[in-house]
Amino acid sequence: MVHSMLSLRTIARRVFVIGEVINRKYRGVFGVVMSTAFVLIKTAPQRELDVYLTLLNLDAVTETHVSYGEYDLVARIDFDDEREMAKTLIGQMRSIDGVIRTETLIAVEV
């Protein structure tokens, strides 16, 4: 079995394109404009599963994935405004026991 290695840039581009297609679909169907951010999460050793399961219970989190590399998890959040995003990131995600660091990538249309 041959595994091909994709660069982080290639993966980010694919995620961006898929996200934009999904966002456009929902806008057309529901007439709602939501913003999306991807949150890279570094966890304490052996706490990945606990943080992962906690993220699944947050309303704003629409996807959560385990990743390899500098960050342990990637979560997608959808939000209506910046205040909701800040509340989710600062009030909920960063306060999860086991989260060491987060980095937020806000998706934009180009």
Which has the closest alpha carbon to 48: 30, 23, 28, 65? 65
Residue at 68 is within a domain: yes
Residue at 20 is within a domain: no
> How far is residue 68's CA from residue 73's CA, in Å, rounded to a whole number?
8
The domain of 79 spans 33-106
Residue at 28 is within a domain: no
Per-residue pLDDT in tens (0 to 9) along the chain, 110 residues: 444 555 555 555 555 555 544 444 444 445 555 788 899 999 999 999 999 999 999 988 999 999 999 999 999 998 888 888 888 888 889 899 999 999 998 888 77
Which residues pair with residue 79 across a beta bridge? 35
Residue at 83 is within a domain: yes
Could you tell me the two tokens for 85?
A: 């995003």
Residue at 19 is within a domain: no
Number of domains in the chain: 1
Q: The domain spanning residue 94 has which CATH number?
A: 3.30.70.920
Residue at 22 is within a domain: no
CB 93 within 8 A of CB 40: no
